[in-house]
Amino acid sequence: MDAKKAPVEDWTTDFDHTHPDYAANAHQIWDDLREECPIAHSDRFGGMWMPTRHEDIAAIAANKDGLYTSRGVVVSEVRPDIPAPIGYAPPITSDPPFHAPARKLLLGPFAPRQVQALEPFTREYCHSLVDAALETSNEQGWFDAAIGYSQNIPVKVIAQMLGLPAEDGPVFRRFIHNIIENPVQREIPEEETVEWYFDQQIAKRKANPKPPGEGDLIDHLLNVEIFGEALAPEHVRGTVVLLLVAGIDTTWSSIGSAIWHLAQHPNDLARFRDDPEVRPFAVEEFLRAYAPVTMARMVAEDHELQGCPMKKDDWLLLPFPAGNRDPEAFEDADKFVIDRQKNRHGAFGLGIHRCLGSNLARMELSVALDVFVDRIRDFSLVDPANVRFSTGQIRGPRELPVSVKTNV
């Protein structure tokens, strides 16, 4: 067993967010840490900290004193060698003053009108997935709602936006596993890296350039400027990598977690199915209760935070889902309240790096659940023990076997 998977004896001093035990018991671990050690520390991955109170997470994300940098957002054994303010995958790895103009370049493609235009495409695709899922269920008595449904939807949508071949879905999944779920430094053949893949895609577009306003999102990035200059090749590639990874794993995890919940709570399933007016509130509550993302930052300079001696280049995990379950921030924080009215959750992050794709994610989650529940009227888990959650900084079901009771 390698060091990364060594048993965790004490989550307050030796936590490991990539450990299977963390994936299986994250909610309880956050609750325990919030009571016993609100800012936990671990020597793993070269040293890292993890706050679990909403107040601390929000303050660090706001970064008003510039004590933290965004140049590293995925924890690994090595520190990123591309410095701020640009970073590896702008704008999420960018610090001010570069961050704001880099983010602004992407606001148009993810604006509500652009997202609404993708809704019919998304809905039609969800219906095709349900058709296939029901066929599988009829043959074997169950189907995997993660592998056969939730994990396909954002892959199809982001591939459409980026102009990528839909059949490359398995390739995208491999990228996500290497980057998010298994962030261990190791040798990977160049042609299997995400960098190589997108270098080829960018080269194709450069060989056949499209005029501004035409083409896909990669064409858009090749046509825009920042500070009066075209984007550097590394900027284009890094941003596209960000959009692929952030646009796929987070959303499929949210969809899968919502289905996982409904499969175990028949009263919530019935309410969602029979009361269309509750659905928008339910979507927000799914996002709060099962927020998938734990973002990372790096300490920019030595300082103390509530007595914790943070050193330059220490990793700092920001578990937004832990903040969403803080009883100091939310009433009945540990309960899923399907019609919760006051719900200023942090599922899409906090501070300047709040997810710019939130409109797209909400649309995909809403459409995916509408189609799934309207078509598969009653369903349950085959066996809770057979559900497997992902490890790492994005948490959601990777295997989710469900049995269908009634469908249309």
Mean pLDDT on 297-310: 96
57 is in which domain, residue-wise? Answer: 3-406
What are the tens digits of pLDDT across the range 245-273? Answer: 888 999 999 999 999 999 999 999 999 99
> What is the domain-level CATH number for residue 318?
1.10.630.10
Average pLDDT over residues 326-349: 98
pLDDT of residue 1: 38
Quick one: pLDDT band at residue 180, thresholds 50, 70, 90? Answer: confident
Look at residue 305 in the predicted model and tell me its pLDDT: 95
**Tokens 């640009």 belong to residue:** 86
Q: Please name the residue ranges forming H helices in 141-183.
A: 153-162, 169-176
| For residue 2, pLDDT beyond 70 | no
- Looking at this protein, which amino acid is placed at residue 207? A
C-alpha distances (whole Å) from 2 to each of 5, 19, 74, 222 are 6, 11, 19, 42
What is the arithmetic mean of pLDDT over 323-334?
98
Residues 62-104 have pLDDT tens digits of 999 999 999 999 999 888 887 767 889 999 999 999 999 999 9
Q: Is the pLDDT of residue 312 over 80?
A: yes
Average of pLDDT values for 162-182?
Answer: 85
Report the alpha-carbon distance of residue 85 to residue 98 in Å, rounded: 6
Reported confidence tier of residue 189, pLDDT bands at 50, 70, 90:
confident
Query: How many structural domains is the chain composed of?
Result: 1
User: What is the per-residue DSSP string for 353-399?
Assistant: G--TTHHHHHHHHHHHHHHHHHHS-EEEES-GGG-EEPPSSB--EEE
Least confident of 1-10, 143-152, 228-237: 1-10
